[in-house]
Amino acid sequence: MKNLHRNIVKLHGYCLHKRCMFLVYEFMEKGSLFCALSNDVEAVELDWAKRANIIKVIAHALSYMHHECIPTIDHRDICSNNILLNFELEAFVSDFGMTRLLDLNSSNQTSIDRTYGYFALGESDVYNFGVVALEMLMGRHLGKLLTSLSSSQSVMPNEILDKRLPPLNHLVAQDISLVAAISFACLRTKLKSRLTVKWVSQQFLSHKKPTMNSLQAVPLWQLRNKETYTVGESET
């Protein structure tokens, strides 16, 4: 990949031995995001500010892969197991075993097995990003929980936040509100209303953010089913 994004794990080399192939990647001291969220001590170390930053850099890396990388790339298996953390808890996209080069002139879709809980037809990377972002808010793997959350008429976004962390303060409330709104917008069931990773990345760079009230006033099912998303500029 030409001009590799800094938040994509670097491949240093490979070795072929008989029928085995070994890939040598950049070492990530903290392991996967999934393992960090599964460990109570490490999960607390991932405070709200760090989680918001991790979600943003994942979005920027995916946007690079889809729109700036030469050739452009569809990862196809974005999940918390495939997001690695270094010693400073910076996030890096890894595991390109299911990757394919994007043909922008083709509407063909490939049906394959992906990590459970992450599969969606069409723009799968942006859907899977939404799942990972929601896992960061909740502090655990979603599995079938996503269906029950989005269909409930009463669950509010602030009620699903990881209870291992202290309540949100004013310094990070807007960032977490933005993550909640965008993550559910990425999970829309209608492909025509789903976002692109480029637009998601731009939203995180925008200075226009929702207020903390958005976590307390809009039920989860409305966030997911809302046809229009108004934070920041419109997608072009």
List active site positions.
Answer: 77
Q: Please count the other Cβ atoms lying within 10 Å of the Cβ belonging to residue 148.
A: 10
How far is residue 63 CA from its own chain's centroid? 11
Helix (H) or strand (E) holding 85: strand 83-85
Nearest alpha carbon to residue 165 among 21, 23, 44, 1: 44
What CA–CA distance (Å, rounded) separates 128 from 3?
24
How far is residue 86 CA from its own chain's centroid? 17
Q: Which residues pair with 84 in a beta bridge?
A: 32, 92
Nearest alpha carbon to residue 73 among 46, 53, 44, 98: 98
Exposed/middle/buried for 199, CB within 10 Å: 0-12, 13-18, 19+? buried
Q: Which residues contact 109 (CB under 8 A, 6 or more apart)?
A: 121, 122
Contact between 122 and 191 under an 8 Å Cβ cutoff? The reply is yes
